[in-house]
A and B are shown apart, each in its own frame.
Chain A
Amino acid sequence: MLPAFMPPDPMMNFLARCLRPLACLAVIAGALAAPAEPARQILVRAALSDDAAQQRELITSLTGRADAALVALLEAWRTDALFRYAPAEGTALVVQLTGPKDDEGRQAAVRIDTGAALVDAAGQPLKLAAGDLKAVEHTTSLRRAMKAVADLADLADPDPARRFKAVQTIGQAQDAAKLAPLQARLEVETDAGVRRVLREAIALVQLKDPQDATRIAALGTLKELHTLASTDFIKRALKEAEEARNQPVLTAAREALRAVENHRSFVDFFGTLFRGVSLGSILLVAALGLAITFGLMRVINMAHGEMIAVGAYTTYLVQNVFGTGITLPFFGLSLGLPGLDLTGGAYQTYFLFALPCSFLAAALVGIGLERSVIRFLYRRPLESLLATWGVSLVLQQAFRLMFGANNVQVSSPVYLSGNWTVNDIIFGWNRVFVVGFAILIVFGMWLVLTKTPLGLLIRASMQNRTMASCMGVRTERVNMLTFGLGSGLAGLAGAFLSQIGNVGPSLGQGYIIDSFMVVVVGGVGSIGGTILSAFGIGGIDQVLQQYLPVVAPGLGWVPGIGGFLQNLAQDAAVFGKILVLAGIILFLQWRPAGLFVTRSRSLED
């Protein structure tokens, strides 16, 4: 099928032959893959040649000699940065100018053939001015040849990720001239991912083939691969086939398109599911602390968000202590924290240390808050709402004064910043981690509440404070510890959220309303309800975000506000959130006390 429109090119055959050992070499020897010196000399020969055809041939012969430096030289040539230099005696040279310009506009020169600095007879570095030299010329066809070399250079790159990208680019350009190198590469390629994308690229290029059989075969391959990237190309092929009334191709294209669309809805569905679960975990982690302070203790802690922020800032501090240290302004004083100057793996472990630190820091702040303000307000819930809001303002301003009004930089450790792509569904490690972490702290909390003496005291005090007190439980102390536990969980949430969102003075504000919603919907006092409602709200939010843009164009029929709704629904994230809040208000019509009601015989409860 190939030779039908392309004469057998000796160069290409050569390429195919030399690529094989080269690829093996590339895999084994990494950067040493290409013999750089000869390639440079070929380049110089081409640059000095006056015959355009010979130049083209020389350049094309460089194809497949993967060397980033060589590609950079070609790029320099293309942008008039290579110069022809004829010394007084000896042969002409090709040079590149580097370094700063001196007063007369002269720069240090580098010889292209050796890569060494240009020196005069005495061995002193020679400086040249760009204005005095003649740039090496290039024609359109030569530039095209250079581009082809540059594109294909990546095909043999030792790094599979770069090969992947190069193949993808070539495939999407659908350039028939690249077909042979792609097929040659497919024969030697060992990486499964790259093989797959190679097959896709070959099929994409073949979609442009004039022969029906080839196109149908290509469509068959695409159907089998059903990659998302090929959608547009299949659609184009479908349109062309429709215009040409080419029934067999049309059928094949439709089938391929259906396979791709099926795959897309599969990916969308599971992607949404995963995002919903991870958002639910975030909400859960943020709301768990509140489930204790609000749910069990009935304290409306509006500073809960700031407890989260305390955790996030503690993570930031620990990160800095593991790094180069940090100096904080502290109400007029300067508070210096020395750095451990760790790097690499040791530095990366900072996050593991940050977790307990965040817990402790937030727990301490929480205990301080309980002792100084909240303990006076246990019988006045509305007042505790107002007082803790006052505290939240003070804390926010304290963050601003200590850490600045802007967001601070919390770097993700490597083990949290990658992702897995399974079947086109992206699983970010930080998201996977937060899901795992949510499970872990729910389990931990369950253990603390049901299997430890402290948990027993907590439950006793929360269920009937007076009775517990009569039995000798020091309820004051239990209150303090319970509030500390709830705040510490918020701090732990902060450490996590620092990996997902920005860390700034108003970080907590973004979570406070969501957290309260989660607890209210779940049923105040019910940890199980909190878990269920977090995942419910997270899931519904993500589903709305995913499908609102699909539904939005269909809202035009609503009388009066149709256009308005269409317009608004484009902001899926915001509109979804509003719908969730509206849904919660309606949900509370049906179940005013939330999903799980804690039964009580008290009238006012």
Chain B
Amino acid sequence: MTGASQASPRRSRIELTVVAIIAVILIVVLPVLNAQGAISNFTLGLWGKYLCYALLAISVDLLWGYTGLLSLGQALFFTLGGYMHGMYLMRMIGELGQYKKPIPDFLVFLGWERLPAFWEPFSSFSFAVVMVFLVPGLLAYVFGYLAFRSRIKGVYFSILTQALTYAASIMFFRNNLLMGGNNGFTDFKFILGHSLAEPATMRGLYIATAIAVVLAFLFCRWLSRTKFGLVQQAIRDGENRVLFSGYATMHFKLFVFVVAALIAAVGGALYTPQVGIINPGEMQADKSLEAVVWVAVGGRGTLLGPILGAVSINALKSWATRAYPDLWLVILGGLFVLVVLFLPGGLVSIPARLKALWGKVRRSPEKPAAAASDTQPASAKT
């Protein structure tokens, strides 16, 4: 899977062309078709949601696929980004809420007369944008610093990130946090003066999301080809060797952890206005694990895998939760077990596997089933 960084220029050019075509389809073609009426607003909204999840999946892959850190807390950073943007959107409701008061409804419900001090600055969009980056980034920095400093790695890191997410979610479920409690934020009306009921606004948000996904993809592609990226992948494959070669792995891991948190946070910030609600249910531990499923199914340690996985699993979910609501969790859980056991390379490894199979069929002795094992990421060690 490290093939991408060592691939020939020709292969790289083909890859970039494919990416460019997909990017054009996502950024230009879909919105134009929507404006023409060929794609319903609902469908475009669904795609917007899938792409937000794709950002979350990219952040998981950057950590897990490229650095060997299985973080079960990415949904927390995603949701925090969503909440920070949601605070701005809540302020923009103005006096159009149920209670016709200048403060958000849930605060009126809790008996507040005035806005709590920490809510004040969120009337400004630019402040909210800064907070979208600052809050998850800072949390990731502090937690990452503590975790990596004491060399917590492998499953211990996973369990601790899960505990962090759990602690945050029980906190956000409380009304006393003044962040909407159980119901979170919803009923948004405006963003930057545009009504969220307008299809044009939603289209704009969709385009922004698609651009963000492409940018995140290009960033990760660039990063994985720099020296930094190589060290990062070396950490995944044998951290102690990297450490003994004189690299302070902690700083590398910390940087990646913060960057991944920021990517997830952007996904969350774009998610909130498009889906129209953000609540603590989004940051529960199983949401993080779900994001890990997308990456595993798509193919971890690849760049397209997480995007493919996020979109396909969520499309499957949209379909299955309507067709077989009772069985969705069984499908998801079963899929997970099957992928882990039988398809460790994920969906993107299928072509290579088929090719290997084809090679076997043609009985070409010089090409044994090397391609298949090549696509398997070296598993991170405990």
Task: Please report A residues at the B interface, Cβ cutoff 8 Å.
Answer: 298, 300, 373, 376-377, 379-383, 385-387, 389-394, 396-398, 400-401, 509, 513, 516-517, 520, 561, 563-564, 567-568, 570-571, 574-575, 577-578, 581-582, 584-586, 588-589, 592, 603-605
Contact = CB atoms under 8 A, between A and B. Distances in A.
Given A568-B174, A574-B174, A373 B337 contact: yes
A394 B330 contact: yes
Give the most central of B296, B328, B341: most A CB within 10 Å. B341
Contacts of A605: 382
B163 A394 contact: no
Contacts of B337: 373, 387, 390-391, 394
Contact of B340 (A377, A520, A582, A588): A377
B382 A381 contact: yes
B253 to A, nearest CB: 15
Interface stretch (B42-50, B85-93, B153-161, B345-353): B153-161
10 contacts: A382-B70, A383-B340, A387-B341, A389-B289, A390-B335, A393-B333, A400-B329, A568-B174, A578-B167, A585-B143
A12 to B, nearest CB: 51
Interface string B65-106: 000001000000000000000000000000000000000000
B192 interface: no
Nearest to A372: B337
Q: How large, as a class, is the contact surface on chain B? A: 35 or more
Given A389-B336, A581-B163, A604 B330 contact: no
A373 to B, nearest CB: 6
Nearest to A567: B176
Contact of A516 (B163, B167, B178, B336): B163
A390 B170 contact: no
A592 B152 CA distance: 7
A592 B146 CA distance: 11
Query: Most chain-A Cβ atoms within 10 A of its Cβ — which of B116, B158, B326, B332?
Result: B158
B194 interface: no
B163 A386 contact: no
Contact of A392 (B158, B333, B379, B381): B333
Contacts of A390: 293, 332-337, 340
A582 B329 contact: no
A423 B132 CA distance: 54
Interface in B97-130: 116-118
B176 A380 contact: no
A393 B285 contact: no
Contacts of B166: 513, 581
Nearest to B296: A386
Interface of B: 70, 116-118, 143, 146-147, 149-152, 154-156, 158-160, 162-164, 166-167, 170-171, 173-174, 176-178, 240, 285-286, 289, 292-293, 296, 326-330, 332-337, 340-341, 344, 379-382
Given A382-B380, A387-B336, A393-B329, A578 B171 contact: yes
Given A391-B337, A567-B178, A589-B149, A513 B382 contact: no
Given A568-B176, A577-B170, A585-B143, A393 B155 contact: no
A394 B337 CA distance: 10
Most buried by A among B116, B292, B330: B330
Contact of B174 (A383, A571, A581, A585): A571
A516 B159 contact: yes
Contacts of B173: 574
Of the listed residues A379, A564, A584, the one surrounded by the most CB atoms of chain B closer than 10 A to its CB is A564
A396 B329 contact: yes
Nearest to A590: B150
A373 B333 CA distance: 13
A516 B157 CA distance: 12
B333 A394 contact: yes
A570 B117 CA distance: 19
Given A379-B379, A585-B146, A604-B381, A398 B330 contact: yes
Contact of B167 (A373, A379, A577, A592): A577
Given A373-B337, A585-B147, A380 B379 contact: yes
A568 B170 contact: no
Given A400-B329, A604-B382, 14 more contacts: A377-B341, A382-B158, A386-B296, A387-B336, A390-B336, A394-B329, A517-B159, A563-B117, A570-B176, A571-B174, A574-B173, A581-B163, A589-B150, A592-B152
Given A381-B155, A393-B330, A589 B146 contact: yes
Contacts of A520: 156, 159-160
Contacts of B117: 563
What DSSP secondary structure best describes chain B's contact surface?
Answer: helix
A581 B296 CA distance: 28
B334 A574 contact: no
Contact of A604 (B240, B333, B379): B240
B31 to A, nearest CB: 35
Contacts of A588: 150, 152, 160
B115 to A, nearest CB: 13
Contacts of A563: 116-117
B146 A586 contact: yes
A150 B70 CA distance: 69
A395 B143 CA distance: 32
A456 B160 CA distance: 32
Nearest to B241: A603
Given A390-B334, A397-B327, A381 B147 contact: no
A585 B157 CA distance: 10
A574 to B, nearest CB: 5
B340 to A, nearest CB: 4
Nearest to B165: A513
B333 to A, nearest CB: 3
B288 to A, nearest CB: 10
A380 B173 CA distance: 35
A290 to B, nearest CB: 11
Nearest to B240: A603
A574 B182 CA distance: 14
A381 B170 contact: no
B305 to A, nearest CB: 15
A520 B218 CA distance: 38
Contacts of A581: 163-164, 166-167
A373 B339 CA distance: 12
A603 B243 CA distance: 12
A517 B164 CA distance: 11
Nearest to A581: B167
Nearest to A578: B167
Nearest to B178: A567
Contacts of A582: 167
Contacts of B334: 390, 394
B333 A385 contact: no
Residue of B70, B171, B329, B379 contacting most chain A CB atoms (<10 Å):
B329
Contacts of B285: 509, 513
Nearest to B69: A382
Nearest to B238: A604
A376 B333 contact: no
B278 to A, nearest CB: 20
B75 to A, nearest CB: 14
Nearest to B160: A585
A381 B329 contact: no
Contacts of B146: 585-586, 589
A109 to B, nearest CB: 52
B337 to A, nearest CB: 4
Contacts of B70: 382, 385
A571 B176 CA distance: 8
Contact of B329 (A397, A517, A585, A603): A397
- 4 residue pairs, one from A and one from B, having the closest CB atoms: A390-B336, A393-B333, A394-B333, A397-B329
A581 B170 CA distance: 12
A555 to B, nearest CB: 13
A449 to B, nearest CB: 23
A463 B223 CA distance: 41
Contacts of B151: 592
A584 B163 contact: yes
